[in-house]
């Protein structure tokens, strides 16, 4: 029976099983319009008759007849005293109590599916109160973080603008000083060449004369050696009889060898004389050298600061300022096998294995580390970070949903949003995923 008599006999609308209150009006007439592709009309008497007439399954909201026909076919659990929810119609009449009021298992409601909505409602309210406290604390931290990050961003942008305006002149000044230094060095070298070249020529002539004299002396010594040198031969018998062993080590000196030694001593003496001269004391740093050195240090420092500021301002967009406290922060999570270390805006590791380098935010509350160490046979490791609201930053869990693809659940105030304080009107089955 689809219509009931209300007060004074006035017709009252019957509640269609499995339909939310706000959608009951769609079933008020004698004909029901199917939704979705290939829409058609069916008689209201064909609604919930355990036969799927509509392609989208909307004619069977209270039975499992259209299970699998469409993901839009859902059953509404009223759950008075707790939170209303939707479940897939494939769960209706399957012998498992999905609704706390047992409405999905009407045949078993009294025996196997008692109404537990009161107890569930109290538990949900207690859990919600705890989450609201966490949300309030998280939002307070987030707002303070955003305020500080905004002020820090203003300072960084001002500093960046100052450096960007200053660097071109500073770099041009450095180029000019380098050019002056090169010109000064070239002039000094030319002057030194002009001064030292005559001295070097005289020194070469002096050495050549000494070498000629030594060669003549060597030749004279060699000539005398051919007429006066004799070699004393001692027989083995004489060695034994007369102890001639001592004579064996006293070989007569060759005059030619003596001349060679004298020549070498003369050359070495010249070399030692030159080497013994005290090197010219290094001149103190010239003003030009000091100016160049100071400019090089200043330009290098300013360029490094400019690059760092640009990177930091790009890494944290305006809508992600709530996560600013993660900068220069590493969070760790230990399991029985590994220690995970997430260093935000840098890299992530599983003990000594690199899971990836920071790639950036990929959603409202998600971030990605990618291009980590290669797995055997591929692919490269990666780590997806899913943030949930919390006043304290911590890694809650790390899993590996697929091979070499990791996911970390991280609690952080940056994921807290004002709208989380609103009571959810209806729990959808997708919320369970």
H/E/C letters for each residue in 70-122? CCCCEEEECCCCCCCEEEEHHHCCCCCCCCCCCHHHHHHCCCCCCCCHHHHHH
Residue among 43, 56, 55, 77 at smallest CA distance from 427: 77
Q: What is the C-alpha separation between 318 and 339, in angstroms, rounded?
A: 32
The model scores a pTM over 0.85: no
| Confidence (pLDDT) at 100 | 92
Neighbours of 384 (CB within 10 A): 18
| Confidence (pLDDT) at 314 | 85
Question: Dmax of the chain from CA atoms?
Answer: 161
Whether omega before 77 lies within 30 degrees of 0, making that bond cis, reads no
Q: What is the C-alpha separation between 396 and 412, in angstroms, rounded?
A: 10
Q: What is the C-alpha separation between 347 and 368, in angstroms, rounded?
A: 10
Token pair recorded at residue 303: 């360029």
| Confidence (pLDDT) at 241 | 52
Residue among 432, 429, 431, 433 at smallest CA distance from 71: 429
Q: What is the C-alpha separation between 397 and 402, in angstroms, rounded?
A: 15
Token pair recorded at residue 38: 């290939």
Q: What is the pLDDT along the chain (433 residues), one digit of tens a residue?
A: 343 333 333 334 468 889 998 888 888 888 888 875 556 888 999 999 989 888 888 888 998 888 877 667 889 999 999 989 999 998 998 888 999 999 898 777 667 888 999 999 999 999 999 989 999 999 999 999 999 999 999 999 999 999 999 999 999 988 998 998 888 888 888 887 878 778 788 888 888 888 888 888 888 877 766 555 544 555 554 554 555 454 444 454 554 455 455 545 554 555 455 544 544 444 567 888 888 899 999 999 999 999 989 988 888 888 999 999 999 899 999 999 999 999 999 999 999 999 999 999 998 899 999 999 999 887 999 999 999 999 999 999 999 999 999 999 999 999 999 998 887 667 777 665 4
Q: State the helix-helix crossing angle for 117-228 and 287-315, rounded to 10 degrees.
A: 150
Q: What is the C-alpha separation between 427 and 80, in angstroms, rounded?
A: 14
| CATH architecture of the domain covering 319-423 | Distorted Sandwich (2.70)
SS3 33: strand
Q: What is the C-alpha separation between 178 and 293, in angstroms, rounded?
A: 10
Neighbours of 107 (CB within 10 A): 11
Token pair recorded at residue 181: 């230094």
Phi/psi of residue 318, each to 5°?
A: -60, -35
| Confidence (pLDDT) at 110 | 66
Q: Are 214 and 267 in contact (CB under 8 A)?
A: yes
Token pair recorded at residue 80: 């008075």
| Confidence (pLDDT) at 181 | 86
Q: What is the C-alpha separation between 137 and 227, in angstroms, rounded?
A: 113
Residue given tokens 């109160």 in the structure block: 129
| Confidence (pLDDT) at 5 | 34
- Bridging pattern class, strands 382-389 and 366-371: antiparallel
Start and end residues for every CATH 2.70.130.10 domain found in the chain: 319-423
Token pair recorded at residue 310: 């640009």
Element (H, E) at 340: strand 339-343
């Amino acid at each position: 029976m689809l219509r009931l008599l209300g007060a004074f006999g006035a017709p009252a609308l019957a509640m269609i099983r499995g339909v939310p209150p706000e959608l009951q009006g769609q079933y008020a007439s004698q004909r029901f319009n199917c939704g979705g592709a290939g829409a058609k009309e069916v008689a209201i008497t064909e609604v919930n008759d355990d036969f799927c007439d509509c392609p989208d399954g909307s004619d069977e909201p209270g039975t499992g007849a259209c299970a699998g026909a469409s993901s839009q076919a859902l059953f509404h659990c009223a759950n008075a005293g707790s939170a209303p929810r939707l479940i897939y119609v494939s769960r209706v009449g399957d012998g498992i109590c999905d609704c706390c009021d047992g409405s999905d298992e009407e045949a078993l409601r009294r025996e196997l599916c008692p109404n537990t909505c009161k107890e569930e409602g109290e538990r949900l309210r207690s859990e919600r109160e705890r989450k609201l406290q966490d949300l309030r604390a998280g939002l307070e931290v987030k707002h303070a973080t955003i305020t500080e990050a905004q002020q820090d961003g203003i300072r960084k942008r001002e500093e960046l603008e100052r450096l960007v305006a200053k660097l071109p002149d500073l770099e041009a000044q450095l180029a000019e000083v380098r050019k002056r230094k090169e010109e000064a060095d070239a002039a000094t070298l030319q002057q030194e060449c002009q001064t030292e070249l005559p001295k070097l020529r005289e020194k070469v002539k002096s050495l050549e004369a000494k070498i000629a004299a030594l060669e003549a002396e060597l030749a004279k010594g060699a000539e005398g050696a051919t007429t006066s040198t004799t070699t004393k031969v001692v027989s083995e018998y004489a060695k034994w009889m007369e102890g001639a062993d001592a004579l064996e080590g006293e070989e007569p000196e060759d005059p030619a060898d003596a001349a060679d030694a004298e020549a070498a001593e003369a050359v070495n003496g010249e070399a030692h004389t030159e080497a013994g001269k005290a090197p010219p004391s290094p001149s103190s740093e010239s003003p030009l050298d000091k100016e160049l050195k100071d400019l090089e240090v200043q330009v290098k420092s300013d360029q490094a600061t400019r690059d760092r500021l640009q990177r930091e301002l790009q890494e944290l967009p305006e809508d992600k300022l709530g996560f600013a406290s993660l900068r220069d922060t590493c969070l760790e999570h230990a399991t029985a096998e590994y220690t995970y270390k997430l260093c935000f805006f840098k890299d992530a590791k599983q003990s000594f294995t690199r899971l990836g380098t920071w790639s950036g935010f990929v959603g409202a509350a998600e971030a990605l580390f990618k291009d980590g160490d290669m797995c055997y046979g591929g692919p490269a490791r990666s780590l997806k970070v899913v943030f949930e609201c919390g006043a304290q930053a911590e890694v809650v869990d790390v899993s590996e949903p697929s091979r070499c693809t990791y996911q970390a659940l991280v609690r952080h105030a940056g994921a807290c949003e004002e709208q989380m304080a609103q009571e959810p009107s209806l729990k959808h089955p997708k919320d369970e995923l």
